[in-house]
Amino acid sequence: MESENDFLKVQIRRAKELVASGYYNARPRIAVPEHPELTYGIRVSHDFPIIAEVKLATPQRGTISQTSARDLVDDYITGGAAGLSILTEPTCFEGSLTILESVRDPDIPVMMKDFIVSDQQLEAAKRFGASAVLLIQGIFDIEGGKELRDSLIAQAHGLGLEVLLEGHDEWELKKIMDSEADMIGINQRDLHTLNVVKGHAMKLLPMVGRDDRQIVILSGISTKREIMDLRDAWADAVLIGTELSSNNSPKTRLIQLAVDR
């Protein structure tokens, strides 16, 4: 059995259990709108693009948001987010597919963020209105390897979904650069330990900067200075969850973090 100290291995097991339980076979209660591509939202954003994440809880802190998921969505849209990241993992993050369904604005890109190990999850993303999905290179290094990764990317594309494929270190990013993912993610959080290293992405950006795909930085971003530094180092966007979701006024905080392109 996997070590309970390795968060990513535990989440892979839980994801398989959720798939087997039929969680991802749910159907939307109402018709969902088509949302634009996330790459488009990043490209046309007036300010440096912030992908705002609906994150109600974290594994370390439990519930972090006093704002409902629906109100977070509204705050992020009116606050100028370039796109939304919707956590759908229910156990550690209090996410749900119904949060995806609640995004009614057809002009905002929407990414489903989960621990994706199966095509059933991709199909759920499409049914519930996502225009993109997050895939995690670290999962494929543990489970299924390049074959599963490439298969899921191809299936996502077949469904009309863009793929943001994230990695944490140099070795994962080298593999990502050899994939058909639409966007490259650098996660400053080590998903095995959940430790965040501030400034980690700055060290890796020169390596991936020669790739012509958009580069998105994830985790541990909480100040305008950090966003400006990442912008100046040629990142294309940042994804921010905890800093926004845990704020008493998520819309105000999103506006405060805005920087010029």
Which domains, ranges and CATH numbers included, belong to the chain? Answer: 7-22+33-256 (3.20.20.70)
Q: Is the pLDDT of residue 30 over 80?
A: yes
Task: State percent of the chain over pLDDT 90.
Answer: 96
The predicted structure's pLDDT at residue 2 = 45
Per-residue model confidence as pLDDT tens digits over 34-62: 999 999 999 999 999 999 999 999 999 99
> How would you classify the pairing of strands 83-87 and 110-113?
parallel
Closest C-alpha to 11, from 80, 82, 87:
87
Q: Is the pLDDT of residue 24 over 90?
A: yes
Per-residue model confidence as pLDDT tens digits over 207-225: 997 899 999 999 999 999 9
Distances (CA, A) of 71 to 22, 28, 250, 251: 28, 19, 9, 10
Band of residue 5 on the pLDDT scale cut at 50, 70, 90? confident
Mean pLDDT across the chain: 96
The predicted structure's pLDDT at residue 21 = 98
Task: State percent of the chain over pLDDT 70.
Answer: 99
DSSP state letters, 5-34: T-HHHHHHHHHHHHHHHTGGG---SSPPPP
The predicted structure's pLDDT at residue 226 = 97
Would you call 72 helix, strand, or coil by DSSP? helix
Band of residue 84 on the pLDDT scale cut at 50, 70, 90? very high
b/e burial code for range 73-104 (CB count within 10 A of at least 16 → b): bbbbbebbbbbbbbbbbbebbbbbbebbbbbe
d(CA 222, CA 240): 8
b/e burial code for range 10-25 (CB count within 10 A of at least 16 → b): bbbebbeebbeeebbe
Look up residue 189 and give its DSSP letter. Answer: B
The predicted structure's pLDDT at residue 3 = 52
Per-residue model confidence as pLDDT tens digits over 128-156: 999 999 999 999 999 999 999 999 999 99
Instruction: Enter the tokens of residue 32.
Output: 């969902």
Query: Stretch 174-195: mean pLDDT, rounded?
Result: 97
